[in-house]
A and B are shown apart, each in its own frame.
Chain A
Amino acid sequence: AQKITQTQPGMFVQEKEAVTLDCTYDTSDPSYGLFWYKQPSSGEMIFLIYQGSYDQQNATEGRYSLNFQKARKSANLVISASQLGDSAMYFCAMREDFQGAQKLVFGQGTRLTINP
């Protein structure tokens, strides 16, 4: 079974600093996808960035980038120039494929707080 581990329950960062949120994963499948989501207090899960296991380059989406180290099975999220609005829960997730269906397996999440 696939597993996602996020070892940082909480992170506190000063505004405008860069922050790295850690994520390690465990899978025996050669083909997989990794996602990062942001969940503000309202509850909605907001898609941030995606990395496929065969993608040659690290994914980037605006201020978000994914530091993908396949051999170490890590997929850390880097947020550059943090903003107060970045304060939220962040979840790393892996896509698991089974008989044509896909589900997401989530980590426990990291609560990020941006201080002014």
Chain B
Amino acid sequence: DAGVTQSPTHLIKTRGQQVTLRCSPKSGHDTVSWYQQALGQGPQFIFQYYEEEERQRGNFPDRFSGHQFPNYSSELNVNALLLGDSALYLCASSSNIDRGKLFGAGTRLSVL
């Protein structure tokens, strides 16, 4: 059984561009959360999706948006990329009875 799958693994963009990151949760998990981890820092919560709706949002600007599909997979979109958006983006999936949120391997985004 595959765990959480994220794509792509690495991405290079230039300032002002837009990017879409993808996440497939573990089978049986219905909740997807996205985190941003800057170099040398702990992950920061971006938002969480459940039943195709954004359930909670962290302190991130509207340039960060997301979507959850009926099969529970999710996308993270970032518009008007800034140099400061360079980070590792982690996706975590969980279910209501799951204590440990399961993380994917992340997408490493570099903005030049």
Contacts and interface: CB of A to CB of B under 8 A. Distances in A.
B68 interface: no
A30 B42 CA distance: 24
A47 B106 contact: no
A101 B48 contact: yes
B101 A108 contact: no
B105 interface: yes
Contacts of A33: 99
Interface stretch (A14-22, A37-45, A66-74, A77-85): A37-45
A116 interface: no
Contacts of A42: 105
Contact of B43 (A50, A102, A106): A106
A101 B103 contact: no
Interface residues of B, number: 25
A45 B108 contact: no
- Dominant secondary structure at the B interface: strand
Interface centre among A44, A91, A93, A100 (most CB of B within 10 A): A44
Contacts of A98: 56
B23 to A, nearest CB: 13
A2 B49 CA distance: 21
A44 B35 CA distance: 12
B99 A103 contact: no
Contacts of A52: 99
A82 to B, nearest CB: 22
A97 to B, nearest CB: 10
A102 B88 CA distance: 21
Given A35-B101, A47-B101, A109-B41, 15 more contacts: A4-B42, A42-B105, A44-B103, A45-B92, A46-B103, A47-B103, A91-B42, A91-B43, A101-B48, A103-B48, A103-B56, A104-B35, A104-B43, A106-B43, A106-B44
Interface of A: 4, 33, 35, 37, 42-47, 50, 52, 91, 93, 98-109
20 contacts: A37-B103, A44-B106, A45-B103, A47-B100, A47-B101, A52-B99, A99-B56, A100-B55, A101-B48, A101-B55, A102-B94, A103-B48, A104-B33, A104-B45, A104-B92, A104-B101, A106-B43, A107-B42, A108-B42, A109-B42
